[in-house]
């Protein structure tokens, strides 16, 4: 018997209060570093296992508190905070690490329940975000970290109703997250992200958005993709999980922006509707000089040039920048990244 349940969560707020529409409709944004690296656990149960991820010279260690590691769904809180800050900056308003907002607005914007259970789940998420400790040398906004820190520095419930529901919440973001905001080291996410039911689907979308961007395709080996997702599955089981998601998407077309295929021992991501959206801008961003990557390495020593190239292409695509000379524009981007180190 076929399981007919939709792979998407229901739209829990189809009719939003007009008063809060501007707040909840802020464009979702995610910071690039935690889109690239497995900071959040895929588990929906308390995950008490520390983890370490190494990619070349970059490393990240994530340790749980007594509440467990922060989950992929807990990331909604950070996405909401980043989105609000970026919306404010785009309007010329100043932002700082401490921000206050209505808990209800966050729940609606991220398609969460606004029942008593929804508020309790938000409390649990704040505990895990504050308690999860990270040690890394990964650059965020051009800075290199050699310290232990939480995903948020603190969280305070400023008001609470008699039945225990939050009204006002104040969060102080970590330097890690706020540096990404200040340096515009963020990428736009599809709002359909909040409707994805499976944590693995959310994680795969983040990786596709980060690495594929507006390119025709991004190819990643199964084992490397498993590690990037932070999955504890065997390679065989991971292949099965990916195959099931591909089958579901063939039926429901529920994955936002990107499709996946397994080719041999690789997973290939492609933008949906690539022939309409990708072709013109991608062709315009072709490098004409053979030594562009070598020059980029000189300008941004220590950086992964291909990661920088993906970031640059995604940034140009997001901002709809008209690039006349791709080589010159990319090298200027790399020069700015290299300057952050000095």
pLDDT digits (tens, 9 = 90+) for 292-324: 888 988 888 877 777 777 778 777 766 566 677
Q: What is the pTM of this model?
A: 0.78
Q: What's the confidence (pLDDT) of residue 21? A: 41
- In the predicted model, is pLDDT for residue 280 greater than 50? no
Tokens at 164, concatenated: 């225990």
- 140 and 218 belong to one structural domain: no
Q: Where are the alpha helices (DSSP H) in the chain?
A: 21-24, 32-36, 75-90, 103-109, 116-131, 175-182, 199-211, 222-229, 235-252, 274-277, 279-284, 292-299, 305-319, 326-341
Q: What is the mean pLDDT of residues 47-75?
A: 91
Cβ atoms of 31 and 79 within 8 Å: the answer is no
In a domain, 161, yes or no: yes
Q: What's the confidence (pLDDT) of residue 275? A: 39
Q: What is the mean pLDDT of residues 220-235?
A: 95
- 170 and 247 belong to one structural domain: no
In a domain, 215, yes or no: yes
Backbone angles phi, psi at 21, to 5 degrees: -60, -45
- 166 and 206 belong to one structural domain: no
Express each pLDDT in 10-29 by its tens digit: 888 876 554 444 444 577 88
In a domain, 342, yes or no: no
Q: What's the confidence (pLDDT) of residue 36? A: 86
- 54 and 74 belong to one structural domain: yes
Tokens at 24, concatenated: 């909840």
In the listed set 246, 275, 304, which residue is the last one of a domain according to the structure? 275
Domain that holds residue 171: 1-197
**Of the listed ranges 110-124, 126-140, 212-226, the one predicted with least confidence:** 126-140
- 99 and 141 belong to one structural domain: yes
In the listed set 168, 197, 226, which residue is the last one of a domain according to the structure? 197
Q: Which helix (H) or strand (E) holds 7?
A: none
- 65 and 175 belong to one structural domain: yes
In a domain, 317, yes or no: yes
Cα angle for residues 176, 178, 180 (degrees, 5° grid): 75
Please give the mean pLDDT across all residues of the chain: 85
- 189 and 203 belong to one structural domain: no
- 118 and 207 belong to one structural domain: no
Cα angle for residues 24, 25, 29 (degrees, 5° grid): 95
- 299 and 217 belong to one structural domain: no
> Per the structure, how many domains does the chain have?
3
């Amino acid at each position: 018997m076929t399981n007919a349940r939709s792979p998407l969560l229901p739209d829990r707020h189809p009719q939003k209060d007009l008063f809060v529409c501007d707040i909840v409709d802020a464009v979702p944004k995610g910071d690039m570093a935690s889109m690239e690296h497995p900071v959040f656990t895929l588990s929906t149960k308390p995950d008490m296992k520390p983890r370490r991820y190494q990619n070349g010279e970059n490393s990240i260690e994530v340790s749980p508190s007594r509440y467990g590691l922060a989950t992929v769904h807990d990331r909604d809180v950070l996405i909401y905070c980043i989105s609000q800050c970026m919306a404010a900056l785009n309007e010329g308003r100043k932002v700082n690490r401490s921000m206050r907002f209505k808990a209800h607005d966050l729940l609606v914007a991220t398609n969460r329940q606004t029942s008593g259970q929804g508020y309790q789940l938000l409390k649990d998420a704040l505990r895990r975000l504050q308690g999860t400790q990270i040690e890394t040398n990964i650059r965020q906004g051009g800075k290199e970290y050699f310290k232990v820190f939480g995903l948020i520095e603190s969280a305070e419930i400023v008001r609470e109703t008699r039945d225990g529901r939050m009204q006002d919440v104040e969060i102080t973001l970590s330097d890690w997250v706020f540096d990404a905001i200040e340096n515009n080291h963020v990428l736009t996410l599809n709002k359909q992200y909040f409707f994805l039911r499976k944590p693995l689907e959310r994680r795969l979308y983040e990786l596709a958005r980060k690495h594929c961007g507006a390119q025709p395709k991004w190819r990643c080996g199964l084992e490397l993709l498993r590690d990037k997702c932070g999955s504890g599955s065997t390679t065989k089981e991971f292949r099965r999980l990916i195959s099931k998601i591909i089958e579901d998407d063939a039926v429901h077309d529920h994955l936002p922006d990107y499709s996946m295929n397994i080719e041999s021992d690789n997973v290939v991501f492609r933008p949906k509707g690539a022939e309409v959206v990708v072709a013109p801008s991608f062709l315009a961003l072709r490098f004409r000089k053979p030594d562009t990557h070598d020059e980029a390495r000189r300008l941004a020593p220590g950086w992964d040039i291909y990661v920088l190239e993906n970031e640059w292409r995604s940034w140009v695509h997001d901002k709809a920048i008209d690039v006349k000379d791709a080589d010159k524009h990319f090298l200027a981007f790399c020069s700015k990244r290299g300057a952050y180190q000095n």
